[in-house]
Amino acid sequence: MKDKLKCGCPNPTTELKLEADFADPLWCAKCDQNLDLEDLPISPQLMKEIEDWSIRYGEWIDLDTDTLVDRGIELEDKHNKESLKIYEKLKNELGVKYELIYSPSTTAKLYKYK
């Protein structure tokens, strides 16, 4: 089992950020390099839950027109509430070997003001 994850920092990291995007939702908290979920020592159930949640990222954006869908802000808020539950589960499974922070999605609010 790996304790540190390789990223863009000079040394591997244990400082992680959970932030959904169109990529894996795990990032180095220092250099913001995207990390592979498969490198984490977590249960297959939580891995699947994170993957399923991550796939739904951006469902509030119509990518063809680059606009918010109806109720886009509500969809993003729902996604962020689910994110907090996943964050707590992930934090619990990772234990003290990793520092984990959470960054909610704010894209719907940015699109609202375009």
pLDDT digits (tens, 9 = 90+) for 81-97: 999 999 999 999 999 99
Average pLDDT over every residue of 43-54:
96
At 1 the pLDDT is 41
Structure token pair of residue 74: 């509500």
Task: Dump the DSSP string for 82-113.
Answer: HHHHHHHHHHHHHGGGSEEEE----HHHHHHT
Name the helix (H) or strand (E) containing 67.
strand 67-68
Q: In sequence order, what are the beta bridge partners of 54?
A: none
The answer to whether residue 91 is domain-embedded is yes
* Number of domains within the chain: 1
Q: What are the backbone angles phi and psi of residue 102, rounded to the nearest 5°?
A: -120, 135
Check pLDDT > 80 for residue 48: yes
The answer to whether residue 7 is domain-embedded is no
At 46 the pLDDT is 97
The answer to whether residue 5 is domain-embedded is no
Q: How far apart are CA 26 and CA 100, in angstroms?
A: 10
Question: Which segments of 24-64 are extended strands (E)?
Answer: 26-28, 34-35, 61-62
At 2 the pLDDT is 54
The answer to whether residue 4 is domain-embedded is no
At 61 the pLDDT is 92
The answer to whether residue 2 is domain-embedded is no
**Percent share of the chain, pLDDT over 70:** 96
At 54 the pLDDT is 94
Model pTM score: 0.86
* Angle at alpha carbon of residue 95, lines to 17 and 54, rounded to 5°: 40
The answer to whether residue 42 is domain-embedded is yes
The answer to whether residue 32 is domain-embedded is yes
Q: In sequence order, what are the beta bridge partners of 35?
A: 26
Q: Where are the alpha helices (H) located in the chain, listed in sequence order?
A: 44-55, 72-94, 107-112
Residue-range definition of the domain harbouring residue 78: 15-112
